[in-house]
Amino acid sequence: MTYIHLDYADLALAALLVVLNGGLSVALELGVERRLAIAALRMVVQLTLVGLVLTTLFALVSPLWTSLAALGMILFAGHEILSRQDRPLSGLWAYGLGTGAMLIASVSVTLFALTTQIAPTPWYDPRYAIPLLGMVLGNTMTGISLGLQTLTTALVRERAAVEARLALGATRRQALLPPVRLALRSAFMPIVNTMAATGVVSLPGMMTGQILSGVEPVEAVKYQILILFLISGGTGLGSMAAVLGCAHRLTDHRHRLRLDRLTPASKS
């Protein structure tokens, strides 16, 4: 198997492309050069720290430390979901719903893959568990974020229509069905587009990395297909749980719409 070693000079050479983008931003007065520099620096620091942490985890091969690392990833992803909502649920629901749905979906799908298709020894080997969870988690986070944002936006926008259906005798499930369907379509769209374009428009990062490291293309394709199936499952389960949970929270047992359970809109 061929392995191409990268040194710091290679990375510095590639970083010139980011500097070029910053120069274009200055020349065209786009105003994004500062954000671009901060994002690039943050990416380098984060990945360097992740590399050090993973090196330690790979050496320990401990179910406790692997679980703690996975929990940390999930908690941070939950914060990202919350930060992407214009009007999140109030109280503990704001953080708990998205995080809980993501935890259940991503962990279930990852454990399913680790104990069946991939089956490393031991099954909690962080060399397999952490990267796999990270891929499923990232896409599930995106799906849940889009689903919740679409649902709350649609309910605020279509409040009169929803309340009219309720007043005419519809149950809360029937009244909220159109915005729920819209939210779930939005949640599924990124992974649907990814699967539709993969292999024709783009080569995914995992597959490209395996090929560059010397893995036979056919074997890399098998792993990439598996990963996309797992991501699809995690996105579907997590988005369904989050959107339906949010819809349930924004109504009550008397079949009333409860938008007062959302945080107030920002005056800005």
Q: Which residue has the higher pLDDT, 174 or 264?
A: 174
Q: What is this structure's pTM?
A: 0.88
Give the pLDDT confidence of 99-115 residue by residue, as tens digits.
Answer: 999 999 999 999 999 99
Kind plus residue range of the DSSP H or E element containing 28:
helix 8-28
Distance (Å, rounded) from C-alpha 113 to C-alpha 107?
A: 10
Q: What is the mean pLDDT of residues 129-152?
A: 95
Q: How many CA atoms lie within 13 A of 44 on its CB side?
A: 11
- Kindly list the domain boundaries of the chain, sorted by start residue: 1-60, 62-261
Instruction: Report helix, strand or coil for 232.
Output: helix
The answer to whether residue 5 scores a pLDDT higher than 90 is: no
Q: What pairs with residue 257 in β-bridges?
A: 251
The answer to whether residue 128 scores a pLDDT higher than 50 is: yes
Q: Which of 227, 229, 234 is nearest to 143 (CA)?
A: 234
Q: What is the mean pLDDT of residues 14-43?
A: 94
Distance (Å, rounded) from C-alpha 190 to C-alpha 73?
A: 21
Q: Which pLDDT value is given to residue 268?
A: 46
Q: What is the mean pLDDT of residues 241-257?
A: 95
Q: Which of 130, 135, 134, 107 is nearest to 120 (CA)?
A: 130
The answer to whether residue 126 scores a pLDDT higher than 60 is: yes
Q: Which pLDDT value is given to residue 266?
A: 64
The answer to whether residue 265 scores a pLDDT higher than 90 is: no
Give the pLDDT confidence of 44-55 residue by residue, as tens digits.
Answer: 999 999 999 999
